Amino acid sequence: MRNLLIQWVHLTINGKTCQRCSDTGKNIMEVIGDLKNDPRFKEVGLAFGELELPPDEISSSNEILFNGVPIEKFIGDAAIGESPCRSCSDLLGKLVNCRTICRGQEILETIPKETIREAILNWLEGDKNQDISGCCPCGGDCGCL
């Protein structure tokens, strides 16, 4: 059996999370709920966890990790970017930018369900086009990827 720990990394201030990150978290939960009934996941242990970040780590907010590996490693044509985030700015009381994923010309401020599902399926299939070397301390030889 393979195990997949999906971690949602997000800024939390006094128990509150920005709208962008909240929407990503909801999308993760919906996709996990859908995939638990998918026969392809019969032999996969799906787990979910949250990593709440303090203000000084906002650059890592709105990130999804699969067994510690960023989601970008499992989707094609993806790069990390940032854009102004009104919701985080309101939480922090100052103007800030938040993490985004860029795919071609599209900037994803909230990570959509379709992108999360695509990445999970690529993880499941062990997509050979995804370079995940160096993402895991064991170099990918432990079976966690």
Q: What is the pLDDT of residues 132-143, one digit of tens each?
A: 444 444 444 444
Contact between 98 and 110 (Cβ < 8 Å): no
What distances in angstroms separate CA 115 from CA 77, 93, 110, one per listed residue?
A: 12, 31, 10
Q: What is the CATH number of the domain that holds 105?
A: 3.40.30
Q: Is the pLDDT of residue 9 over 60?
A: yes
Domain count for the chain, please give it: 1
Is 27 a member of any domain?
yes
Exposure string of 97-113, with b = 16+ CB inside 10 Å and e = fewer, is ebbbbbeeeeebbbbbb
Domain that holds residue 32: 2-125
Q: Is the pLDDT of residue 122 over 80?
A: yes
Number of CB atoms found within 10 A of residue 32's CB: 18
Residue bearing the bigger pLDDT, 134 or 52: 52
Is 142 a member of any domain?
no
Is 86 a member of any domain?
yes
Decide: residue 44, CB within 10 A, 0-12 exposed, 13-18 middle, 19+ buried: middle
Is 132 a member of any domain?
no
7, β-bridge pairs? 49, 65
Is 31 a member of any domain?
yes
Phi-psi region of 77 (alpha: psi -120 to 50; beta: other; left: phi over 0): left
pLDDT at site 51: 95
pLDDT at site 128: 36
The pTM score is 0.84
